[in-house]
Amino acid sequence: MIEVQNLIKSFNGAEVLKGVTTTFEKGKTNMIIGQSGSGKTVFLKCLIGLHVPNSGVICFDGRKHTELDIKSRRQLRKEIGMVFQGGALYDSLTVEENIMFPLKMFTRSTPLEMLKRVNEVLERVNLPNSNKKFPAELSGGMQKRVAIARAIVMNPKYLFCDEPNSGLDPQTAIVIDNLIQEITKEYDMITVINSHDMNSVMEIGEKIIFLKDGVKAWEGSNKEIFKTENEAVVNFVYSSNLFKKVREAYLSEIK
């Protein structure tokens, strides 16, 4: 479990996160949503250690992130997988080399052992025999799958995804959503997804944190979000006429 207690983060005296408290559980797709400027990207970066909070506690299965020594932080880093917005693949490296990169950095595996693991994760994301291709030769959806393969190559306990569906067409976005959820269950990981895609929220949001102006304004599941009366959530999630109609149909059906 990841436990966050009273997390505060400021930049140049301006408070971006204002005492966020929540938990993220194993085997669930946890989603962070909110408008631009709500603090969700800063929150994600605090979780993975790219920002140091001004105060508050982040615990990874009982380990307080900010209190770990260098050796313990390095060990924790090995347990974290990250899918960056846009994929963040190295253009000059092949698919195989991109995925192998964390193994070379953090393990002492032999070249054959690393190649075996690369092939395993490529098979898992449905991209077998793509080893020697370069990112430029792949579609956007395929690049995202390579990014996911790289994120899970170290068998992480924690998977973080920053806008994994950014730039994808709706059909491909569904494929990526399903893949992330399947891998979360299969590996029994704690998965945290920063997203603005409401389709993803409705489909795989087993736990949803809604941030507004740096505060946790609502928390619940994708089923509970249909029924919430929280005005800020309703205005954000159901801003389009289509989603308003979907919500109205759902509410009338359960009456």
pLDDT tens for 205-235 read 999 999 999 999 999 998 888 888 888 888 8
Exposed/middle/buried for 189, CB within 10 Å: 0-12, 13-18, 19+? buried
Angle at the Cα of 191 from the Cα atoms of 127 and 53, rounded to 5 degrees: 130
> How many Cβ atoms are within 10 Å of 5's Cβ, its own excluded?
15
Which is more confidently placed, 123 or 238?
Answer: 123
pLDDT over 70 percentage in the chain: 98
Is the pTM of the predicted complex or chain greater than 0.85? yes
pLDDT given for residue 66 in this prediction? 80
Q: What is the mean pLDDT of the segment spanning 3-31? A: 94
User: Distance (Å, rounded) from C-alpha 173 to C-alpha 196?
Assistant: 12
Say which residues have a Cβ less than 8 Å from residue 206's Cβ, sequence separation at least 6.
28, 29, 30, 221, 222
User: Distance (Å, rounded) from C-alpha 149 to C-alpha 144?
Assistant: 9
Q: Which domains does the chain have, with CATH numbers?
A: 2-79+159-254 (3.40.50.300), 88-155 (no CATH)
pLDDT given for residue 233 in this prediction? 87
Residue with tokens 């399903």: 178
Cα dihedral sign, 60-65-69-70: positive
Which is more confidently placed, 242 or 121?
Answer: 121
User: Distance (Å, rounded) from C-alpha 87 to C-alpha 145?
Assistant: 9
- Is 166 a residue whose pLDDT tops 70? yes
User: Distance (Å, rounded) from C-alpha 138 to C-alpha 23?
Assistant: 36
